[in-house]
């Protein structure tokens, strides 16, 4: 066992900052790496040390294995935490860390290969007796075969990148004439996102619920699950809102699925933190979907209801310690919800919206946590994900958590880029969500309820007009000494306190 004293975080954005926060609490030195576009990103400013690793496109920086290894070696980092995305599920990277004597905070390269390739993962789980969704037995690279397979499985089908995740390289096909376009788009996206264009095809389950189980496993065979996360609220196949416990779950199903998740992890001798994703239909049948061999974006809701810092556990497991708790000691206390704040335009098919953050006011108060990385004056680069923060709330009951989330979303204000904040608030007010009556079609199904904006009244518009008028007069009087309007000597803050980069 070797105590980790310095960790290089091979990631950016909110997750890099989130990992470093735990490192600081554990007295572990932190090392950031950054691309040309990220010199002013918060993770660089938060870390003890920071090193440049290449140009803005992630293939030249955050995916550059040798460069990151070189930095880790030079700064004598004991371990590398890969976060999620980028190299987090890259077996070559994990192997190279091992060869250099650097601890990779994650499972072994063998497990990453086995579970990272979704086709292999399916086979493994099938053998372990865990139910899987009907689909192709291997990856498909030629279009004719794909068409043939799709006829066999029957529409609708889901085309997925074999190396995929996060909704990239994924297409749902309802009609035969859409097959070719969808296949090409999926392959092209898969190629550019993961450097591997192979895809596989799966039967599409109607009214599916996306429910996943968090697991933790140490090197000594102790494996526990930390209950479920309900992740069915999605748009463009990317999650928007997650909650735990799931409104769909029954104690019996939780026990069954939890045991299946632990079994799945044990089958591959998993170590570290991982997630088993399941599809659950309305009749509570569950199917293994995939295993994510890394920390998930939505891990904080699990942390909130269990009281366990998952990053801390990852680090402790990586330095060879035994899990400090057993399954029976784990409980879900209260209810947690996470909303992902994306820089995007919900009124325009969730189009990403890059640009400069002008003002930001983050929510605070009882039961509220934000994991973010943008600050006033920060310019969101076009090269990376559009998620700018995660808002996590906790309440004693689901009802209290929803009300708290509404309050927190009310407080959350970001100007300069378009965000999903108000859209999320509308979801919190949506009867289907409040009743817990939803599946992955929620956004589509409630399109009309969620569309448009509640217009503020005329008085409110007039206040906007007055504001613009005063701002204009204020500027005029400063330039011309305009007489009819006297700028107040003490009109709040004359100089902004923030000095932007």
Which residues are known catalytic residues? Answer: 294
- For residue 163, give Cα distances in angstroms to 41, 57, 139, 404, 473: 28, 19, 10, 37, 58
Q: CA 140, 143, 148, 151 torsion: positive or negative?
A: positive
Residue 374 DSSP symbol: -
CA distance linking residue 201 with residue 198, whole number of Å: 10
CB of 409 to other proteins, least distance (A): 11
CA distance linking residue 93 with residue 67, whole number of Å: 11
Tokens describing residue 397: 């009951």
CA distance linking residue 499 with residue 29, whole number of Å: 28
Residue 79, phi then psi, degrees to nearest 5: -145, 160
- The smaller minimum CB distance to other proteins, of residues 182 and 316, is found at 182
Kindly report each contact of residues 95-99 with a partner whose C-beta sits within 8 Å and lies 24 or more positions away, as own/partner: 96/65, 96/66, 96/69, 97/69, 97/72
CB of 417 to other proteins, least distance (A): 10
Strand-pair partners of 342: 387
Report the residue count for the chain: 501
CB of 19 to other proteins, least distance (A): 21
CB of 460 to other proteins, least distance (A): 6
CB of 413 to other proteins, least distance (A): 7
CA distance linking residue 169 with residue 9, whole number of Å: 26
CA distance linking residue 163 with residue 87, whole number of Å: 12
3-state secondary structure of 11: coil
Residue 319: CB atoms within 10 Å: 15
Note the residues at the interface with other proteins (CB under 8 A). Answer: 168, 185, 188-189, 192-193, 236, 343, 348-349, 351-355, 358-359, 382-386, 410, 413, 415-416, 422, 453-456, 459-475, 484-486, 488, 491-496
CB of 493 to other proteins, least distance (A): 4
Residue 439: CB atoms within 10 Å: 21
- The smaller minimum CB distance to other proteins, of residues 232 and 386, is found at 386
- Note if the bond before 241 is cis, omega within 30 degrees: no
CB of 373 to other proteins, least distance (A): 15
- 119: Cβ–Cβ under 8 A, 6 or more apart, which residues? 136, 137, 138, 139, 162, 200
Tokens describing residue 381: 């680069």
3-state secondary structure of 276: strand
- The smaller minimum CB distance to other proteins, of residues 34 and 288, is found at 34
CB of 60 to other proteins, least distance (A): 14
- The smaller minimum CB distance to other proteins, of residues 106 and 416, is found at 416
Q: CB-based burial of residue 478 (10 Å sphere; 0-12 exposed, 13-18 middle, 19+ buried)? A: exposed
CA distance linking residue 278 with residue 228, whole number of Å: 10
- The smaller minimum CB distance to other proteins, of residues 382 and 399, is found at 382
Residue 128 DSSP symbol: T
- The smaller minimum CB distance to other proteins, of residues 327 and 353, is found at 353
3-state secondary structure of 360: strand
CB of 93 to other proteins, least distance (A): 19
- Note if the bond before 156 is cis, omega within 30 degrees: yes
- The smaller minimum CB distance to other proteins, of residues 266 and 403, is found at 403
Beta strands in 166-309 (DSSP E): 168-173, 199-203, 209-217, 223-235, 238-244, 272-280, 286-292
- The smaller minimum CB distance to other proteins, of residues 383 and 442, is found at 383
CA distance linking residue 67 with residue 266, whole number of Å: 34
CB of 355 to other proteins, least distance (A): 8
- The smaller minimum CB distance to other proteins, of residues 145 and 413, is found at 413
């Amino acid at each position: 066992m070797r105590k980790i004293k310095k960790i290089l975080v091979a990631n950016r954005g909110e997750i890099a900052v989130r990992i470093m926060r735990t490192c600081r609490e554990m007295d572990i030195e932190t090392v950031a790496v950054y691309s040309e576009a990220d010199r002013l990103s918060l993770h660089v400013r938060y870390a003890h040390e920071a090193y440049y690793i290449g140009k803005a496109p992630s293939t030249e920086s955050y995916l550059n294995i040798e460069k990151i290894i070189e930095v880790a070696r030079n700064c004598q980092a004991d371990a590398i935490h890969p976060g999620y995305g980028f190299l987090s599920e890259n077996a070559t990277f994990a192997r190279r860390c091992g060869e250099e004597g650097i601890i990779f905070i994650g499972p072994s390269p063998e497990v990453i290969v086995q579970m990272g390739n979704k086709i292999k993962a399916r086979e493994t789980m099938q053998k372990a007796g865990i139910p899987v969704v009907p689909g192709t037995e291997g990856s498909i690279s030629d279009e004719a075969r794909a068409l043939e397979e799709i006829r066999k499985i029957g529409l609708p089908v889901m085309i997925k990148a074999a190396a995929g995740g996060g909704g990239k390289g994924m297409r749902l096909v309802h009609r035969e004439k859409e097959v070719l376009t969808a296949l090409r788009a999926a392959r092209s996206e898969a190629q550019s996102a993961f450097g591997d264009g192979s895809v596989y095809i799966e039967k599409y389950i109607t009214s599916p619920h996306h429910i996943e189980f968090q697991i933790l496993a140490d090197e000594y065979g102790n494996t526990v699950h930390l209950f479920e996360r309900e992740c069915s609220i999605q748009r463009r196949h990317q999650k928007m809102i997650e909650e735990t416990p799931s409104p769909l779950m029954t104690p019996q199903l939780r026990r069954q699925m939890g045991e299946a998740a632990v079994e799945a992890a044990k089958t591959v001798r998993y170590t570290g933190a991982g997630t088993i994703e399941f599809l659950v239909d309305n009749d509570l049948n569950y199917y293994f979907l995939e295993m994510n061999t890394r920390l998930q974006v939505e891990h904080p809701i699990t942390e909130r209801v269990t009281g366990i810092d998952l990053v801390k556990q990852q680090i402790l497991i990586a330095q060879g310690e035994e899990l400090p708790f057993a399954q029976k000691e784990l409980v879900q206390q209260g209810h947690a919800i996470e909303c992902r704040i994306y820089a995007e335009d919900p009124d325009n098919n969730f189009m990403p919206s890059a640009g400069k953050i002008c003002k930001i006011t983050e929510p605070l108060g009882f039961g509220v946590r934000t994991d973010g990385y943008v600050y006033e004056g920060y310019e969101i680069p076009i090269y990376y994900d559009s998620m700018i923060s995660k808002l996590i709330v906790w309440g004693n009951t689901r009802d209290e958590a929803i009300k708290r989330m509404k309050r927190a979303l009310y407080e959350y204000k970001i100007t300069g880029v378009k965000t999903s904040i108000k859209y999320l608030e509308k979801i919190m007010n949506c009867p289907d969500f409040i009743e817990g009556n939803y599946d992955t079609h929620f956004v589509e199904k409630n399109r009309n309820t969620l569309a448009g904006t509640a217009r503020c009244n005329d008085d409110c518009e007039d206040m906007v007009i007055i504001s613009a008028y005063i701002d204009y007069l204020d500027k005029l009087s400063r330039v011309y000494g305009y007489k009819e309007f006297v700028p107040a000597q003490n009109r709040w803050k004359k100089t902004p306190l923030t000095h932007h980069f």
